[in-house]
Structure 1
Amino acid sequence: MQAKDLVQLAEQFGSPLYVYDAAKIQSQYKRLTSAFSKVEKLRINYAMKALSNVAILQLLREMGSCIDAVSIQEVQLALHAGYSPDQIFFTPNGVSLEEIEEVSALGVQINIDNLSILEQFGTKHPSVPVCIRINPHVMAGGNANISVGHIDSKFGISVHQLPHLVRIVENTKMKIVGIHMHTGSDILDIEVFLYAAEILFDAAKNFKDLEFLDFGSGFKVPYKKDDVETDIEELGRKLSKRFNAFCKEYGKDLTLIFEPGKFLVSEAGYFLAKVNVVKQTTSTVFAGIDSGFNHLIRPMFYGSQHYIENISNPKGKERFYSVVGYICETDTFANNRRISEINEGDILSFRNAGAYCFSMSSNYNSRYKPAEVLWLNGEGHLIRAQETFEDLLKNQIPLPIIATV
């Protein structure tokens, strides 16, 4: 997308605004499938928690993607978007047995990540096929909040508990059809990922009726100029070769599954915000925008860096700014960042705003959530309207007026 297209969309739909480039989502999907083209059976389960707008789900469905869901509500959204139950994979954490049973009753493949629920479910439903999430105790991910495969993680069944796990399966006679792992996001060292894969291969040898192995995702995308990213092509060459060899050892062609979220949609997203005020203090120049961490929490929550461009003045002389929001507490998007000279009324564009941005937004300070637009075939399509005051009041029940004596 060009800066002029984004400026036009901000003028047309207002700000703040989320914009997603369909072509980028499509190219990322094709890049991933091409990297693993030598695998006989490959399945991509889009991790919809990254961005769950129904239009995005429909776009990915048309490309052949399936869905990775983490809640019953995400399962229902995927069904609403046209996915069949067998195209949805349910990978929750810490949910109740009742929720897992509810999803299973819909015909969706379930993935269980703790021994307690596994034993309860297997005892009640021994004929229902189940996938098991293993914690390989491998540290991956560039941030403690998104590294989920290490020994202190709440996710998965410890690989060291494998004997106990096998005993539960044998006692309940339940059917295990898949083994799953997810080490975390921002994976850079492919050798570490391959090391974790070997742990999954070893665990898989304990189960004779497997249909698939799910390697999670966590592929890093570039967040700034000259930033590093996961070499998907190299990973594809190395893991495909090892996976195909394992299938021969296992005596069966298994399906290789990935569940990318950020990799597919992050770079496709742009967050547009208007500058309300340029404020000079004794040491800092602040650019205050018409948004805050209620709309884009990642910089405050994760310390993530989003490249910021002044698309109203892209060729202007660069100055140093701290970009801040309008929330009444510390609300900083960037400190001391070089950006083309900013004036009040300019539109700033935040890159990599496709994943875990709108999906983590809120109504904090009673602000409306912004609109979402899909840029498809050179045209902007509104896929979510900006909220209104009526949306804030929806589901609220005022206190009845009590007459005083």
Structure 2
Amino acid sequence: MNFFKRCKNGILHIEEISLNTIAKLIGTPCYVYSKNAIINQFIIYQQALKNYPHIICYAIKTNSNLAILNMLSKLGSGFDIVSGGELERVLMAGCDPSKIVFSGVAKRADEIIQALNVNIKCFNVESCSELQRINNIAKSIGKTAKISIRVNPNIDPKTHPYISTGLKDNKFGIPIKQAPLIYAYAKTLNFIKIIGINCHIGSQITNFSPILNTIDHLIELISILKNKQNIKIQHINLGGGLGVDYFNLYPPPIKLYIKKILNKLNNKETVNIPLIIEPGRSIAADAGILLTRIEYIKINEKKKFAIIDAGMNDIIRPSLYNAWQNIDQVDIRIHNDKGFIRKKAYYDIVGPICESSDFVGKSRLLSITEGDYLAIRSAGAYGFVMASNYNTRIRPSEIMVEENEIYLIRKKELLKKLLYYEQF
């Protein structure tokens, strides 16, 4: 891969590389990830689970760059996928299919065939209709489909409603009270093999109580399945969802989070049943930033705006969720061009998209001017992976940093290729 040798200009750094240097060499906007930060977060999960049977299935919807998937695969990661496209990605990245779980509420027939043909670990089944479809397709191609039923425990994860998935108002999973009937029906299907139970209540979880309450419900269900229906659960999949500290949020440390989970599972119904977890955000978020340049400073009667070259098409979380992401100056210059001390002021950091919702941060206290670079923090998760071409804007490049080298892991798009698929 292409790489550039280290240069020490600038103030803020990812590992030992200057962001100021990256901005000048690569251009902006661009995503920059720390290889060591991603690896370290994954290893923390591995160490916390080392004495318990488990599979860590990284949720690739978080950040699906092939270089990151390949790196995690080499560390022993499995993967949680939600589409046939994601399946193709993880296979291309070298993942072992026996460590792939297929989630999502609307699996198409072609996607099910694709997954059966490579013999994935299991489907996380979301509805009775899906269960029937998987059985029929498996029969038609002479396969047996391994499944885990995703149950919805109606537990509030105490997070943003758009990323809550475990309430009865959400589209995900089968109501936990109906689960014994669905499991009983699955047991009658000749091309279905029941191997697990799955539950994912939401993302950006910052306290223990929702996940521990969820486990209580799962233990009760597992007991019913074993003692009344003679169905033995071979793994428990608790999904992902552990949060990160975007701003004044205090999610529990990974090790403590896992310790609480394992303590809860240490009972006669679930002890030593292998555990699957599907972390994503807690591995990738803080390992990445979006690097952007201030194009204009604009001041009106009420506001000061810093207009940057990254828009809601590049990073949609603030516009979609009103999400907070820290924004730092890259090269902190004390004086302006005339030698006067720069004054701090509150700015709305906004993008070039023709939407009033196109902002990255509001009322941020900064000492900035046109041409300065900014780093949008915690952008390694749900950043580039949610980017679009709205306003016919090309998506940015992605960079991996490792100690004193930077690697181009995704080239910036070309406008002519963006228009290639259209005709008149």
The TM-score normalised by the length of structure 2 is 0.88
Equivalent position of 2:305 in the other structure: 286
Q: Which residue of 1 aligns with 2:295?
A: 276
Q: CA deviation at 1:257?
A: 0.8
1: CA distance, partners of 2:232 / 2:138: 17
Quote the Cα distance in structure 2 between the aligned partners of 1:387 and 1:166: 47
The aligned runs of 1:133-144 (5 Å cut-off) are 133-144=150-161
CA distance in structure 1 between the aligned counterparts of 2:74 and 2:419, rounded to whole angstroms: 36
> Is 1:50 paired with 2:62?
yes
Mean alpha-carbon deviation: is it higher for 188-197 or for 147-156? 188-197
CA 1:243 to 1:361, structure 2 compared with 1: closer, same or farther past 3 Å? Answer: same
Does 2:362 correspond to 1:335?
yes
Aligned equivalent of 1:77, options 84, 89, 92 = 89
Q: Which stretch of structure 1 is more off in the superposition, 298-307 or 199-208?
A: 199-208
Asked if structure 2 preserves the Cα contact closer than 8 Å seen for 1:97 and 1:117, the reply is no
Q: Which residue is equivalent to 1:23?
A: 36
Residue 286 of structure 2 aligns to a residue whose secondary structure is coil
Matches within 5 A, 1:192-203: 192-203=210-221
1:213 aligns with 2:236: yes
| In structure 2, C-alpha distance between the alignment counterparts of 1:60 and 1:141, rounded to whole Å | 29
Q: Distance in 2 between matches of 1:20 and 1:67?
A: 20
Instruction: Tell me, yes or no, if the aligned pair for 2:295 and 2:307 is still in contact at 8 Å.
Output: yes
Say whether 1:86 aligns with 2:112.
no
* Cα distance between partner residues in 2 of 1:191 and 1:375: 37
Counterpart CA distance in 1 for 2:372 and 2:315 is 19
3-state DSSP class of the match of 1:186? coil
Distance (whole Å) between structure 2 residues aligned to residue 311 and residue 374 of structure 1:
18
Separation in 1, partners of 2:379, 2:167: 27
Task: Determine the C-alpha separation between the residues in 1 that align with 2:23 and 2:295.
Answer: 14
Pick from 198, 203, 208: which aligns with 1:185? 203
| Partner amino acid, structure 2, of 1:334 | G
Answer whether contact 1:38 1:240 (CA < 8 A) is retained. Answer: no
TM-score (norm 1): 0.92
Separation in 1 of the partners of 2:251 and 2:388? 29
**What is the SS of the residue equivalent to 2:86?**
helix
Matched position secondary structure for 1:266? helix
CA contact (8 A) 1:175 1:209 kept: no
Q: Which residue matches 2:8? A: none
Q: How does 1:3-402 map to 2 (within 5 A)?
A: 5-39=18-52, 41-108=53-120, 109-122=122-135, 125=138, 127-173=144-190, 174-205=192-223, 206=225, 208-224=231-247, 226-246=248-268, 249=269, 253-313=272-332, 317-330=343-356, 331-339=358-366, 341-396=367-422, 398-399=423-424
Give 5+ residue unaligned stretches, structure 2: 1-11, 335-341
Deviations 1:300-328 (A, max 9, x none): 00111110011122666532111000011
Are the equivalent residues in 2 in contact too, given 1:25–1:264 (CA < 8 A)? yes
Contact 2:116-2:138 at 8 Å conserved across structures? no
Given that 2:78 and 2:96 are in contact with CA atoms closer than 8 Å, whether structure 1 keeps it comes out as: no
Structure-1 separation of matches of 2:210 and 2:418: 46
Q: 1:254 to 1:379 in 2, by over 3 A?
A: same
SS, match of residue 166 in structure 2: coil
Offset of 1:209 from its aligned partner? 3.5
In 1, distance between residues paired with 2:309 and 2:106?
36
- SS of 1:175's equivalent? strand
1:22 Cα deviation after fit:
0.9
Q: Is the 8 A contact 1:46 1:261 kept in 2?
A: yes
**Share of identical aligned residues, percent?**
32
CA shift digits 1:204-255 (9 cap, x unpaired): 231533321100111010113x531233333222221232334xx35x7321
What is the CA RMSD across the aligned residues, in angstroms? 1.9
Rounded to whole Å, the distance in 2 between the matches of 1:394 and 1:80 is 24
The answer for unaligned runs of 5 or more in structure 1 is 400-405
1:94 deviates by: 1.9
Counterpart for residue 6 of structure 2: none
Question: Per-residue CA shift, 1:98-148, capped at 9, x if unaligned?
Answer: 422331222112221101121343355473221111111111141000000
What residue is the counterpart of 1:402 in the other structure?
none
Secondary structure in 1 matching 2:260:
helix
SS in 2 for 1:44: strand
Conservation of the 8 A alpha-carbon contact between 1:104 and 1:110: no
Q: For 1:318 and 1:80, locate their aligned partners in 2 and report how far apart those are by CA, in whole Å.
A: 48
> What is residue 403 of structure 1 aligned with on the other side?
none
Runs of 4+ in 1 over 4 A off after TM superposition: 314-317
